[in-house]
Structure formats: C-alpha cells, structure tokens
Amino acid sequence: MTFGTKTLRLNFGDNIITPAVVYILIPFRIIEKYLCHSRLQEFEPAGERSHCRILDACSASVLQSLQGLDYITPEGTDAINNLIKIGKALVENCGGDDWGSTIISRAKEVKQYFKT
C-alpha cells in the first residue's frame, strides 16, 4: 500500500491489516460534515487546517472518555427493561391499558434509540 498499513488486534487474537489511509480519512469526513453544516447554518467556520489541529489535540482525550461507554450501555438497557417490567406490572395490577401501553411503547423506543 502506498500509505502503509496498520494492524488491528482483536480480543480473540486475530489480526486485521487495514490501510493507514482509513485513519486519515475519518477526521476529514468529520471536518467535511461540519463545514457542510456551517454552510447550511450560514456562518463562517475556521479553516480546515485549524479543525485538523483541534481533532488531533482532542482525539486522545475523547478516546479515553469513550472507554467507559461500554459499561454504561448494558446498564442503561437493563434499566429500560426494568421500566418495561414495572409498566407491565402496573397495567396488570392497576388497569389503565392505554396509559400502560403508551409507557411501555415509549420505553421500547428509548431502548431502540440507545441501541442505535
């Protein structure tokens, strides 16, 4: 490859060789989307190079802060499942099928949103 390669090591021991250009393209896609958004909102953003420097400075701290999300997602899903169970129990014991079905469907929508 002209730009070199990087090796990704997976948890179960396999290695995947990927072109280094993939790692270069990701920040530029972010910048491209931001610049498109700024044109739609009709404001003048900083230059592309400034955005590259900002992403370089922030990437390490952002990756460190995102590591905890792996633990938050399953706990959030469990909490939503508990809310659904509570909603079903309230419908069974207190009646109010319309109210209960609305709460349960909204909880399921939140769960789907978290998954995406």
Q: Is the pLDDT reported for residue 92 higher than 70? A: yes
In the chain, domain spans: 5-67, 70-115
> For residues 66 and 15, what is the distance between their CA atoms, to the nearest angstrom?
23
Share of the chain above pLDDT 70, in %: 75
- Quote the mean pLDDT of the chain: 75
> For residues 116 and 104, what is the distance between their CA atoms, to the nearest angstrom?
19
Between strands 5-9 and 15-19, the pairing is antiparallel
User: Quick one: pLDDT at residue 1?
Assistant: 45
User: Quick one: pLDDT at residue 37?
Assistant: 84
| 3-38 pLDDT, tens digit each | 677 777 777 788 877 777 666 677 778 888 888 888
**Side-chain half-sphere CA neighbours of 60 within 13 A:** 3
If you average pLDDT over residues 77-100, what whole number do you get?
80
